[in-house]
Amino acid sequence: MAFIEDYRKILRRMIKEYHWNDIQSEIESFFNEIQRSNIPRQECLKKFIISESEILEKFSLTKERLKDPLYLDRIYELLEYIKEINFECFPNTWLTFKYHHHHHGYKIKSLLDNIEDIVEELVKFKVDKFDLLIESNSKEEDFQAKEKFIDLKFQDYGLSYYNSYIDLINGIAFHPDYYTILPH
């Protein structure tokens, strides 16, 4: 997938000016401190997941994917979630071992504003290149589903014209290259 690698390099250059290291640092510091914090607003425990592994799973991320700019759209959503936790779960002056939640929330808000256009471009790239990806590899790979991503029968809902896509979607849903580009 040469065009994916090329786009990954382009993204790295574009994001560099928008503080990729700051993004990584904010995520890492949040995960380090949230596990040790005593959340003062208990209703937050019902609204938000606090476990690092569960949060990453919620956004279809892993520690490796956090470092990959092709997942910036999901990283953006993760940052939004972290910002919400920092603002909604902690009073304005709350510190968790020198981690000032509102200060970090404002820093994340600034980062989100700076990368918003890049995220929109990335999503557009994923949508535009999806067809090219299928076309270029449909001859090389057999899209046999190892797991079911969609297990519905569309005719049960009066949408039988979608049935022909189920095998294709199931076949590519968990493929590492296709999953990267498949809009979620």
Task: Name which of 51, 58, 36, 46 is nearest 88 in CA terms.
Answer: 46
pLDDT digits (tens, 9 = 90+) for 70-124: 888 888 999 998 888 877 776 677 666 776 677 778 888 988 888 888 888 888 8
Note the pTM of the prediction, 2 decimals: 0.66
Task: Check whether residue 95 and residue 52 sit in a common domain.
Answer: yes
Task: Check whether residue 124 and residue 169 sit in a common domain.
Answer: no
Task: Check whether residue 104 and residue 178 sit in a common domain.
Answer: no
Domain holding 169, by residue range, is: 142-184
Task: Check whether residue 120 and residue 160 sit in a common domain.
Answer: no
Task: Check whether residue 131 and residue 152 sit in a common domain.
Answer: no
Q: What is the pLDDT of residue 136?
A: 57
Task: Check whether residue 50 and residue 89 sit in a common domain.
Answer: yes
Per-range mean pLDDT, top range of 81-90, 123-132, 137-146:
81-90
Task: Check whether residue 112 and residue 169 sit in a common domain.
Answer: no
Domain total in the chain: 2
Q: What is the pLDDT of residue 180?
A: 54
Task: Check whether residue 114 and residue 174 sit in a common domain.
Answer: no
Task: Check whether residue 14 and residue 98 sit in a common domain.
Answer: yes
Q: Which of 106, 122, 140 lies at the terminal end of a domain, its last residue? A: 140
